[in-house]
Amino acid sequence: MSSVSPALRYWDARAASILREFAELLAIPNVAADPDALERVAAWIREALTKRGIEAEVISLRGAPPVVVGRMEGQTQGPTIGIYAHYDGQPVAPERWASPPFSPTLRTGRLEERGDEIGFPADGDPVDPEWRIYARGSSDDRAPIAALLAALDAIPERSGNIVFLFEGEEEVGSPHLGDYLGHLKGRLAADIWLICDGPVHQSGRAQVALGVRGFAEIEIEVFGPPHDLHSGHYGETGLNPGVALAELIVSMRDADGRLLLEGLEGPEPSEAARIAADAVPDPENLGFAVNPHGSYAGRLLRPLLNVRGIASADVGATSRNVIPASATVSIDLRLVAGQDPVAMIEFVRDHVAAQGYHLVDEAPTAAERMDHRRIARVVGVAGYPGVRTSPDDPMVQRIVEAVDSVADESPILLPSFGGSVPLHHFVEHLDCPLVILPIANHDNNQHSADENIRVGNLRYGVEVFAALLGGI
Amino acid sequence: MSSVSPALRYWDARAASILREFAELLAIPNVAADPDALERVAAWIREALTKRGIEAEVISLRGAPPVVVGRMEGQTQGPTIGIYAHYDGQPVAPERWASPPFSPTLRTGRLEERGDEIGFPADGDPVDPEWRIYARGSSDDRAPIAALLAALDAIPERSGNIVFLFEGEEEVGSPHLGDYLGHLKGRLAADIWLICDGPVHQSGRAQVALGVRGFAEIEIEVFGPPHDLHSGHYGETGLNPGVALAELIVSMRDADGRLLLEGLEGPEPSEAARIAADAVPDPENLGFAVNPHGSYAGRLLRPLLNVRGIASADVGATSRNVIPASATVSIDLRLVAGQDPVAMIEFVRDHVAAQGYHLVDEAPTAAERMDHRRIARVVGVAGYPGVRTSPDDPMVQRIVEAVDSVADESPILLPSFGGSVPLHHFVEHLDCPLVILPIANHDNNQHSADENIRVGNLRYGVEVFAALLGGI
What is the tens place of the pLDDT at every residue in B4-45? Answer: 689 999 999 999 999 999 999 999 999 999 999 999 999 999
Nearest to B237 among A290, A307, A329 (CB): A290
How many angstroms separate the CA atoms of A126 and A14, rounded? Answer: 10
Nearest to A287 among B213, B225, B371 (CB): B225
User: By the CB < 8 Å criterion, does A312 face chain B?
Assistant: yes
CATH code at A214-281+300-384:
3.30.70.360
Nearest to A370 among B288, B292, B299 (CB): B288
What is the tens place of the pLDDT at every residue in B104-117? Answer: 999 999 998 989 99
What is the tens place of the pLDDT at every residue in A118-140? Answer: 999 999 999 999 999 999 999 99
* Contact state of A319 with B309 under an 8 Å Cβ cutoff: yes
Q: Specify the pLDDT at position A392.
A: 94
What residues of chain A lie within 8 A of the CB of B231, using their CB?
A: 304, 306, 308, 332, 334
User: By the CB < 8 Å criterion, does A420 face chain B?
Assistant: yes
Closest-CA residue to B383 (of B428, B424, B351): B424
Average pLDDT, integer, range B135-151: 97
B236, B259, B285, B436, best to mutate vs chain A, most A CBs in 10 Å? B236
Q: Is the model's pLDDT at B2 over the cut of 60?
A: no
* Contact state of A307 with B312 under an 8 Å Cβ cutoff: yes
What residues of chain A lie within 8 A of the CB of B224, using their CB?
A: 288
What is the tens place of the pLDDT at every residue in B368-390? Answer: 999 999 999 999 999 999 999 99
Q: Is the model's pLDDT at B152 over the cut of 70?
A: yes
* Contact state of A370 with B287 under an 8 Å Cβ cutoff: yes
For B:88-147, CB contacts with A below 8 A are none
> Are the CB atoms for B152 and B55 separated by under 8 Å?
no
Residue pairs between chains A and B whose CB atoms are closer than 8 Å = 252
> Are the CB atoms for A131 and A108 separated by under 8 Å?
yes
B222, B295, B307, best to mutate vs chain A, most A CBs in 10 Å? B307
Q: Specify the pLDDT at position B102.
A: 98
The residue of chain A nearest to residue B215, with distances taken between CA atoms, is A232
Give B280's pLDDT tier (boundaries 50, 70, 90). very high
Q: Is the model's pLDDT at A1 over the cut of 60?
A: no
Q: Is the model's pLDDT at B248 over the cut of 50?
A: yes
Q: Is the model's pLDDT at B439 over the cut of 50?
A: yes
What is the tens place of the pLDDT at every residue in A150-186? Answer: 999 999 888 999 999 999 999 999 999 999 999 999 9
The CATH label, of 3.40.50.2300, 3.30.70.360, 3.40.50.720, 3.40.50.2000, for the domain at B214-284+298-384 is 3.30.70.360
B310, B318, B423, best to mutate vs chain A, most A CBs in 10 Å? B310
Amino acid letter for position A283: P
User: By the CB < 8 Å criterion, does A307 face chain B?
Assistant: yes
What residues of chain B lie within 8 A of the CB of A321, using their CB?
A: 306, 308, 332
The full 3-state SS of B5-37, as one line of letters, equals CHHHHHHHHHHHHHHHHHHHHHCCCCECCCHHH
* Contact state of A308 with B324 under an 8 Å Cβ cutoff: yes
CB atoms near residue A381 (< 10 Å): 12
User: By the CB < 8 Å criterion, does B249 face chain A?
Assistant: yes
* Contact state of B306 with A321 under an 8 Å Cβ cutoff: yes
Average pLDDT, integer, range B67-89: 94
* Contact state of B306 with A369 under an 8 Å Cβ cutoff: no
Give B257's pLDDT tier (boundaries 50, 70, 90). confident
Q: A274-311: string of b/e by CB count within 10 Å (b at 16+)? A: bebbeebeebeebebbbbeebbbbbbbbbbbbbbbbbb
Q: Is the model's pLDDT at A2 over the cut of 60?
A: no
Q: Specify the pLDDT at position B84.
A: 98
Q: Specify the pLDDT at position B24.
A: 98
How many angstroms separate the CA atoms of B102 and B93, rounded? Answer: 11
Nearest to A314 among B236, B309, B419 (CB): B309
User: By the CB < 8 Å criterion, does B360 face chain A?
Assistant: no
* Contact state of B237 with A286 under an 8 Å Cβ cutoff: yes
CATH code at B6-212+387-469:
3.40.630.10
Q: How far is A301 from chain B (nearest CA, A)?
A: 12
Q: Specify the pLDDT at position B380.
A: 97
Q: Specify the pLDDT at position A266.
A: 85
Q: Specify the pLDDT at position A441.
A: 95
* Contact state of B419 with A237 under an 8 Å Cβ cutoff: no
A230, A252, A284, A307, best to mutate vs chain B, most B CBs in 10 Å? A307
Domain ranges within chain A, ordered by starting residue: 6-212+387-469, 214-281+300-384
Q: Specify the pLDDT at position B4.
A: 64
A212, A231, A357, best to mutate vs chain B, most B CBs in 10 Å? A231
Q: Is the model's pLDDT at B147 over the cut of 60?
A: yes
Q: Specify the pLDDT at position B261.
A: 79
> Are the CB atoms for A238 and B291 separated by under 8 Å?
yes
Same fold, B6-212+387-469 and B214-284+298-384: no
- ipTM associated with this complex: 0.90
pTM over 0.80: yes
CB atoms near residue B292 (< 10 Å): 6
* Contact state of B242 with A370 under an 8 Å Cβ cutoff: no
What is the tens place of the pLDDT at every residue in B339-369? Answer: 999 999 999 999 999 999 999 999 999 999 9
Q: Specify the pLDDT at position A265.
A: 83
**Average pLDDT of chain A, as a whole number:** 94
Q: Specify the pLDDT at position A4.
A: 64
What is the tens place of the pLDDT at every residue in B164-223? Answer: 999 999 999 999 999 999 999 999 999 999 999 999 998 899 999 999 999 999 999 999
What residues of chain B lie within 8 A of the CB of A307, using their CB?
A: 240, 242-243, 246, 312, 324
User: By the CB < 8 Å criterion, does A327 face chain B?
Assistant: yes
How many angstroms separate the CA atoms of A202 and A219, rounded? Answer: 33
What residues of chain A lie within 8 A of the CB of B240, using their CB?
A: 306-307
What is the tens place of the pLDDT at every residue in A369-391? Answer: 999 999 999 999 999 999 999 99
Q: Is the model's pLDDT at B284 over the cut of 60?
A: yes
Q: Specify the pLDDT at position B1.
A: 43
* Contact state of A328 with B315 under an 8 Å Cβ cutoff: yes
